[in-house]
Amino acid sequence: MKHITCIEDLRLLHKRRVPKAFFDYADRGSYAEETLRANSEDLKKIKFRQRILVDVSKRDPSTTILGEPSSLPLILAPVGLLGMQHGDGEIHACRAAQAAGIPFTQSTMSICSIEDIAANVQKPFWFQLYVMKDRGFIKALIERAIAAKCSALVLTVDLQVIGQRHADIKNGMTVPPEWSLSKLIDFASKPAWVAGVLQGKRRTFGNIAGHVKNTEDLNRLSEWTASQFDTSLSWKDLDWIRNIWPGKLILKGILDVEDALEAAKVGAQAIVVSNHGGRQLDGAPSSIEVLPGIVDAVGSKMEIMFDGGIRSGQDVMRALALGAKSCMIGRAYAYGLGAGGQAGVEKAIDIIRKELLTTMGLCGVNTIDEIGKQVLAK
């Protein structure tokens, strides 16, 4: 890992170490990938205001997230199928987050189950919920998250219908992997991945195997998701979820001011301004484009989290300058996981931490609270 200096290095190593279907699953977006690209391109357009001769010897990137101390304004976002990027991937990613002192969010679509992770890590983690048609199962899933002492529920609200990801269809993306000649050739060149994932004991959706029909044989992920996820979900269902989940609630996937105002009314403590990393509504604006409007509308009522396109500490600084309280990263740490398991995720977090500290120094600020629009060039 010593020659890895940026997130792109981790991405390239991930690409070399993990079969194409799973690398593409992490890397690519929906349809023409316009929103995927806009997320990164719009962040890069934001320029900093360099300041000089300010005492920046006491820089500190720590903050609080929903009232809890965090070593960085950073959260590992829910990412499905981490256990297909690296054996027991969710456990490795969660351990890396906890070692770094930041929150980890487990996806509903994880390979390791909630109980598996809870048994293998030291501290509570967050649980992300997709609402499926079988509400009895969803109630039980929330109760499992409560029993595992998950410290926040992240309700993802931007995936009632699934945005088509061409690469997943072309690659025949399945869980567990389906065998074909081209896949066998691909797997043969990735022996460490085969040893960790194919020969590991966790190879299907840990949270839902045995509860939802057909997880074992209806494996085309996008078709399966489309058949299970509840397209009738609406604001009215929030009360139902609120009655089962008493703890901190975060609504993830908000891009519109009207939706943000609605979220403030249903008792959510936070929202994540997010377009699902450009994997859902292609042609939607980048997350950073809509962030300032949402902060103006609801920033005084709820904590505003941000994700989409963050590949560096500079990007974190840009989002904080425009009003986010913290940022989630998805691909940046998934690349680290594919590249090197827990050490790779730790590396991703460390890269972003160092970049953030340097950027704070060159913009003349010492604390996260000091970061505001004044650090940006006009």
Q: Residues interacting with ligand FMN, by CB under 6 A?
A: 25-26, 39, 77-80, 107, 109, 128, 156, 252, 274, 276-277, 279, 307-310, 328-332, 334
- What is the C-alpha separation between 33 and 115, in angstroms, rounded? 35
Please state the closest distance from residue 14 (CB atom) to ligand FMN, in A. Answer: 11
Cβ–Cβ under 8 Å, residues 250 and 271: yes
Nearer to ligand FMN, 255 or 298 (CB): 255
Is 276 among the residues known to form the active site? yes
CA geometry: angle 118, 113, 309, nearest 5 deg? 90
Nearer to ligand FMN, 250 or 362 (CB): 250
Nearer to ligand FMN, 114 or 328 (CB): 328
Please state the closest distance from residue 263 (CB atom) to ligand FMN, in A. Answer: 15
Q: Is the peptide bond before 176 cis (omega within 30 degrees of 0)?
A: yes
Please state the closest distance from residue 280 (CB atom) to ligand FMN, in A. Answer: 9
Nearer to ligand FMN, 202 or 252 (CB): 252
- What is the C-alpha separation between 27 and 40, in angstroms, rounded? 13
**Among candidates 146, 157, 147, which has minimal Cα distance to 247?**
146
Q: Would you call 122 helix, strand, or coil by DSSP?
A: coil
Please state the closest distance from residue 183 (CB atom) to ligand FMN, in A. Answer: 19
Query: In the chain, where does DSSP find H-type helix?
Result: 7-17, 20-27, 34-44, 82-85, 89-100, 114-120, 135-147, 166-170, 181-188, 191-193, 221-228, 237-244, 257-265, 287-298, 313-321, 331-363
Cβ–Cβ under 8 Å, residues 156 and 70: no
Place of tokens 């299970």: 228
Nearer to ligand FMN, 276 or 365 (CB): 276
Please state the closest distance from residue 43 (CB atom) to ligand FMN, in A. Answer: 10
- What is the C-alpha separation between 79 and 76, in angstroms, rounded? 8
Please state the closest distance from residue 27 (CB atom) to ligand FMN, in A. Answer: 8
Catalytic annotation, pick one of 14, 86, 92, 276:
276
Nearer to ligand FMN, 110 or 362 (CB): 110
- What is the C-alpha separation between 355 and 375, in angstroms, rounded? 15
What is the set of active-site residues?
Answer: 276
